[in-house]
């Protein structure tokens, strides 16, 4: 079972089929779909398929300890994870875990995405024992590049994407050191 994760301002819960209307409403917004959906307007059935696919991938990957929970922090946003598709020049990351964040434009610029991403990274390191996360971002998506850099992701390389060239990032998740009392640092 995937956990509910709480931050100072967010409550990150596993996504459910009951979230279809909210996720669909988010993914059809022009500013959100521009890079996340390659500016394609997805119908409800397509979004329902994405939710099912993400849930199935997370369930399968969770069994082998490689899945972040698919989460919904409210504010019309979602954080999900799955294995990035294979892209020319970026194949080495196709078996890694990628957090994907969609946030309603009214919530942009308030630090919610960074807070959710940092918490997802901590969960990946501490609970799933992953050694890194990866991310693929369309080169023109300057907001996402700034977000990843702010959280500590480093550029791995570039490759071609469906609509725009892509930049690949990785975030190393070093194991926490325990002090003599067994407390992590």
Angle subtended at Cα 32 by Cα 44 and Cα 124, rounded to the nearest 5 degrees: 90
Distance (Å) of CA 63 to CA 2, 58, 68? 11, 8, 11
Residues 33-77 have pLDDT tens digits of 999 888 899 999 998 888 787 766 665 555 545 555 555 555 555
* 124 domain residue, yes or no: yes
CATH number where 51 lies: 3.40.630.30
pLDDT score at 128: 80
Residue 133 near residue 121 (C-beta atoms within 8 A): yes
Does this model's pTM top 0.75? My answer is: yes
Q: Tokens 């992590």 correspond to what residue?
A: 184
* 180 domain residue, yes or no: no
Tokens found for residue 108: 């942009």
Q: How many residues does the chain have?
A: 185
Supply the range of the domain harboring residue 124.
Answer: 5-129
């Amino acid at each position: 079972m995937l956990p509910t994760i709480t931050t100072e301002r967010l409550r990150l819960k596993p996504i459910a089929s009951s979230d279809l209307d909210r996720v669909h409403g988010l993914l059809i917004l022009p500013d959100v779909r521009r890079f996340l959906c390659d500016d394609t307007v997805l119908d409800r059935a397509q979004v329902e398929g994405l939710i099912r696919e993400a849930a199935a991938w997370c369930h399968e990957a969770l069994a082998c300890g490689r899945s972040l929970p698919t989460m919904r922090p409210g504010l019309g946003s979602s954080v999900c994870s799955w294995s990035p598709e294979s892209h020319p020049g970026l194949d080495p990351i196709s078996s890694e875990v990628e957090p994907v964040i969609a946030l309603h434009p009214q919530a942009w610029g308030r630090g919610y995405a960074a807070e959710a991403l940092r918490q997802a990274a901590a969960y990946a390191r501490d609970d799933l024992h992953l050694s890194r996360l990866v991310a693929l971002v369309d080169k023109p998506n300057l907001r996402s590049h700034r977000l990843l850099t702010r959280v500590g992701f480093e550029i791995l390389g570039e490759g071609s994407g469906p609509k725009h060239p892509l930049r690949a990032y990785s975030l190393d998740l070093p194991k926490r050191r325990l002090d003599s009392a067994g407390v992590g640092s």
